[in-house]
């Protein structure tokens, strides 16, 4: 079981697989006023940076589940490196439908809400692993500026303008689902650069090391087109943030 290979190539050197930077995860951890011993569940935990740094900085415990064997292996190494391997566990698997036996104080899906068919389905899924009074974290894109045409939306890898909302609509949508938005931390364009531009050097190095790979032509084409596409579209039009929710 694995995610499409292109992500394992382009994001192999990423610690954080979204437009957050380490300071944003630190800000979020502080904003949530995490207490030592709080159990955190993370669906689509990637390379485990959020869980590992929060375990180190706030003494949380918890579990991350991710479908990429590569990212899961990197998460385990990171836990060892930060000396928190006794606090956090990383499981390679499909997080769709995952409900944990031990209820969490924080249940998160940070940049992977397709796991349960979108934001509403993901909130419902996380709720089933949450203890009463717990906090749900949703990491999700929104339109920083509404794209003027559907073609511009497609350049941001959306299928249509309606794939995403503008920020105030996204925030209001959580209310419509019966949740208070109790905190939020938003990425900025520098963070987008860390996420997107870091892929370019990784692709370049990968091409040099794997010239005869069957994926080489695809990676070559991507490296040639991505910087200009990103600068013109994603960087300008797409925002991203993590929203902390508590049921009303």
Footprint on residues 72-101 left by ligand SAH (CB under 6 A): 94-96
Pick one of 60, 79, 84, 110: the residue that binds ligand SAH (CB under 6 A). 110
Contacts of residue 233, Cβ cutoff 8 Å, sequence gap at least 6: 152, 155, 156
Give the shortest CB-86-to-ligand SAH separation in angstroms: 22
Pick one of 9, 51, 115, 126: the residue that binds ligand SAH (CB under 6 A). 115
Burial class (CB in 10 A: 0-12, 13-18, 19+), 77: middle
Residue with structure tokens 């290979």? 5
Residue 64 CA to residue 43 CA, distance in Å, equals 6
Site size toward ligand SAH, by CB under 6 A? 21
Residue 241 is given by DSSP the state: E
Footprint on residues 167-196 left by ligand SAH (CB under 6 A): none
Pick one of 38, 68, 202, 234: the residue that binds ligand SAH (CB under 6 A). 68
Element holding 183 (H helix, E strand): strand 179-186
Residue 67 near ligand SAH by CB under 6 A? yes
Q: Count CB atoms within 10 A of the CB of residue 142.
A: 19
Which residues of this protein are in contact with ligand SAH, per CB under 6 A? Answer: 3, 16-18, 44-46, 49-50, 65-68, 71, 94-96, 110-112, 115
């Amino acid at each position: 079981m694995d995610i499409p290979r292109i992500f394992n190539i382009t994001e192999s050197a990423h610690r954080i697989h979204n437009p957050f930077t380490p300071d944003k995860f630190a800000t979020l951890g502080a904003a949530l006023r995490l207490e030592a011993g709080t159990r955190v569940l993370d669906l689509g935990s990637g390379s485990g940076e959020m869980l590992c740094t929060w375990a180190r900085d706030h003494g949380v415990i918890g579990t991350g589940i991710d479908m990429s064997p590569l990212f899961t292996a990197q998460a385990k190494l990171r836990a060892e490196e930060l000396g928190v391997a006794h606090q956090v566990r990383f499981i390679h698997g499909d997080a769709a439908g995952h409900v944990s036996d031990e209820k969490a104080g924080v249940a998160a899906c940070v940049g992977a809400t397709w796991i349960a068919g979108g934001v509403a389905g993901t909130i419902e899924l996380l709720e089933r692993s949450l203890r009463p009074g717990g906090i749900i974290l949703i990491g999700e894109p929104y339109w920083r500026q509404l794209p003027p045409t559907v073609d511009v939306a497609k350049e941001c890898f959306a299928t249509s303008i309606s794939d995403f909302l503008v920020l105030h609509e996204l925030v209001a949508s959580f209310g419509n689902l019966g949740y208070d938005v109790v905190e939020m931390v938003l990425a900025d364009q520098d963070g987008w650069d860390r996420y997107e531009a870091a892929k370019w050097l990784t692709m370049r190095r990968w091409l040099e090391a794997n010239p005869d790979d069957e994926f080489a032509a695809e990676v070559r084409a991507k490296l040639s087109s991505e910087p200009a596409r990103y600068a013109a579209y994603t960087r300008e039009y797409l925002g991203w943030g993590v929203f902390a929710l508590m049921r009303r």
